[in-house]
């Protein structure tokens, strides 16, 4: 996230590298929402949109929880939107396959996605109580998909153990990358704006944990 201003078949892991035209429809819809949303956003004044729909700890403290969701669909630049769309495509497909087909599976996928995104922003607010900084972007939710996929890879389509080489390796790499971002104060290639790296890490942790009960729900085991 950016800071403004400052069944085995259903869970097939080959989807990690699927082209977009073979991706499950919820993932395609998510990619379209991210890119289409920014296409609309880019032709209207940005500041009023960020003020109305961006998330901040101060707004949450005042009782305004809607931006926990709306901020996930705002982005700061085309690079920001494209990076998150690519992440949704890469890491969303295995989770969508696990969720199942049809409207029920699609709804379950989006529920998982939103849960990771909302949790990432909420914990950011706990870390920065009352802060005025405004968060936008889907990367907290995308990080949740990434955490979930690390366990699906480890379990060959079902959630694997936490103490698995793939899970530990992906987690360590994500922690390192975000601590690097924290040290630099920005994400290389994404401009010089600050990045809410804390939301990335907490979103990842949410996906890592939540994929277990999510799989039991969707697979009925």
Q: What is the CA radius of gyration of the chain?
A: 17
* Cβ-contact 4, 54 below 8 angstroms: yes
**C-alpha–C-alpha distance, residues 185 and 142, integer Å:** 20
pLDDT of residue 75: 95
Q: Where are the domains of the chain?
A: 2-219
Q: What is the pTM of this model?
A: 0.88
pLDDT of residue 9: 42
pLDDT of residue 2: 62
Measured in Å, how far apart are the chain's first and last C-alpha atoms?
34
pLDDT of residue 181: 83
Q: Provide CB contacts within 8 A for 56, sequence distance 6+.
A: 67, 131, 132, 133, 134, 135
Q: Single out the residue of 107, 72, 84 nearest to residue 35, CA to CA.
A: 84
DSSP code string of 93-109: HHHHHHH-SHHHHHHHH
Tokens found for residue 129: 């109580």
CATH domain 2-219 topology: Rhomboid-like fold (1.20.1540)
- 135 φψ region: left (φ > 0), alpha (ψ -120 to 50), beta (else): beta
pLDDT of residue 179: 92
Q: pLDDT tens for the chain, 221 residues: list them.
A: 666 654 434 444 444 444 445 899 999 999 999 999 999 999 999 999 999 999 999 999 999 999 999 999 999 999 999 999 999 999 999 999 999 999 999 999 999 999 999 999 999 999 999 999 999 999 999 999 999 999 999 999 999 999 999 999 999 999 999 998 887 766 655 555 678 899 999 999 999 999 999 999 999 86
pLDDT of residue 182: 80
């Amino acid at each position: 996230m950016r800071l403004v201003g400052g069944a085995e078949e259903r869970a097939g892991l080959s989807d990690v590298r699927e082209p977009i035209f073979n991706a499950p429809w919820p993932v395609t819809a998510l990619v379209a929402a991210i890119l289409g949303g920014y296409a609309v956003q880019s032709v209207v004044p940005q500041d009023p949109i960020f003020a109305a729909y961006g998330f901040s700890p101060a707004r949450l403290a005042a009782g305004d929880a809607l931006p926990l969701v709306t901020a996930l669909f705002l982005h700061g630049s085309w690079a920001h939107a494209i990076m998150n769309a690519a992440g949704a495509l890469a890491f969303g497909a295995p989770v969508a396959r696990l969720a199942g087909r049809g409207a029920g599976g699609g709804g379950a996928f989006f529920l998982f996605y939103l849960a990771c995104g909302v949790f990432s922003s909420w914990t950011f607010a706990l870390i920065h109580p009352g802060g005025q900084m405004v968060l936008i972007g889907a990367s907290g939710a995308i990080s949740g998909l990434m955490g979930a996929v690390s366990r699906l890879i480890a379990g060959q389509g079902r959630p694997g153990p936490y103490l698995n080489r793939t899970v530990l390796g992906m987690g360590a790499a994500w922690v390192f990358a975000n601590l690097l971002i924290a040290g630099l104060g920005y994400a290389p290639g994404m401009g010089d704006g600050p990045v809410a790296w804390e939301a990335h890490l907490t979103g990842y942790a949410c996906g890592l944990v939540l994929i277990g009960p999510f799989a039991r729900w969707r697979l009925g085991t």
